[in-house]
Amino acid sequence: MTTLSGEPGTAGTAVAAGDTESATLRVVLMLDVRKGAQQAFLDAYQLLRDQVASVPGHVSDQLCQSIEDPSQWLITSEWESATPFLTWVESAEHREMVKPMHDCVNDTRSLRYEVLRETSAAGHTGSRAPRPERAGDGRIRHAITFTVRPGSEEVVAKLLSDYASPSARVDSATRLCRTSLFMQGNRVVRAVEVRGSLSAALRHVAQQPEVRAVEEAINPYLEEERDLTSAESARAFFGRAALPAVHEAVAEAERPGTVRRYALQYPVRGGGGAAAARVLARSDELAAADPTGSLVRSTVFQRDDVVVRVVDLADTADADLALTTGTADRDLAAELGRQLELPGAVRDLGTDQGRAQLLAHCRMTLLTDRHSQDV
């Protein structure tokens, strides 16, 4: 059952696209229960437990209390795989379910693990290889997305382009490395790179006066209202806004040249988000393994039918249209085309003309790209 993530933007788990069915998922939630709220917490847990028992993919859960500090609690749950858990935890139904428990806790921390080995009285049961170590320099990418009211795009773009960067140092182990803001139409995407604790970095950013001022300034223009001074409203907003990273590719060889960052939002047909993300993931894997290519790093973010690809290239976007759009392989390009809702002018994604049209249609405008010096 473990959910209740009050940390901004932690609704998703970064997994390889298409690999969410590969193993049982163990979810761990650590909670600090408020003084005097223990019985209310237990009542809220009981209600939530009864509700989640009927959620498809849920296997079991346990509630534990620390024998050293009675205010510290632990909820663990088991799910058939990551897919049903993520589908539920990112739903409006889940947000409504956990509201009573939020009032009982000071802080939470949610962790998600795949079960690789298991031992019981019957002996060892099952074994699978661990995921490879994270590629690259240890920076974790995360993204959130939201939409603004049509007609307000120009005002919002100016507000988001014109703010002071927060301090890079979060704590002794965490640094905020880079923040990039993109916009296409009325959709905004904020990509953040962190070294260390992602949740600590996001809390740090949210508390900075310069960031809070900008967030307050754009509030009147949002399609969905929010109040970041309210813990409940902030949780609900970040739950809706989280855009999970489902795949990341990092070049196996050094890339000479100036690294440039781009973002593409792909116009996915209804229900085609996961399939489009898998195609783009496979395309990026091939590009990362090519020693002659210019791909430095690419991250595919996907939630439902919102698919955004943030790509760092050691060249301009127009220099290699196939690489930039994720359509170098003709079979993968054809499959991607079947998952997209493209205007009539965009035809064959296996040609440079089709790729140029796709890039023009998908390319997001870079509003802000702030590198922290203290990293």
CATH number of the domain that residue 358 is part of: 3.30.70
- Asked if residue 150 belongs to a domain, the reply is yes
Are 357 and 259 contained in the same domain? yes
Nearest alpha-carbon partner for 358 in 332, 312, 327:
327
**Residue 140 has what pLDDT?**
82
Domain end position, chosen among 98, 127, 156:
127
Domain that holds residue 238: 143-243
Nearest alpha-carbon partner for 244 in 198, 175, 286:
198
Are 255 and 348 contained in the same domain? yes
Per-residue pLDDT tens over the stretch 255-291:
888 899 999 999 999 989 999 999 999 999 999 999 9
Q: Is the pLDDT of residue 142 over 80?
A: yes
Angle 148-309-306 from CA coordinates, rounded to 5°: 45
The total of structural domains in the chain comes to: 3
CB distance 317 to 309 below 8 Å: no
Per-residue pLDDT tens over the stretch 199-211:
667 667 667 777 7
Domain end position, chosen among 194, 209, 243:
243
Are 319 and 355 contained in the same domain? yes
Work out the average pLDDT over 61-69: 92
Domain end position, chosen among 212, 243, 274:
243
Are 252 and 358 contained in the same domain? yes
- Asked if residue 331 belongs to a domain, the reply is yes
**Residue 177 has what pLDDT?**
81
**Residue 33 has what pLDDT?**
92
Are 176 and 101 contained in the same domain? no
- pTM higher than 0.85 for the full model? no
Distance, in Å, from the CA atom of 103 to the CA atom of 118, rounded to the nearest integer, reads: 35
CATH at 93: 3.30.70.100
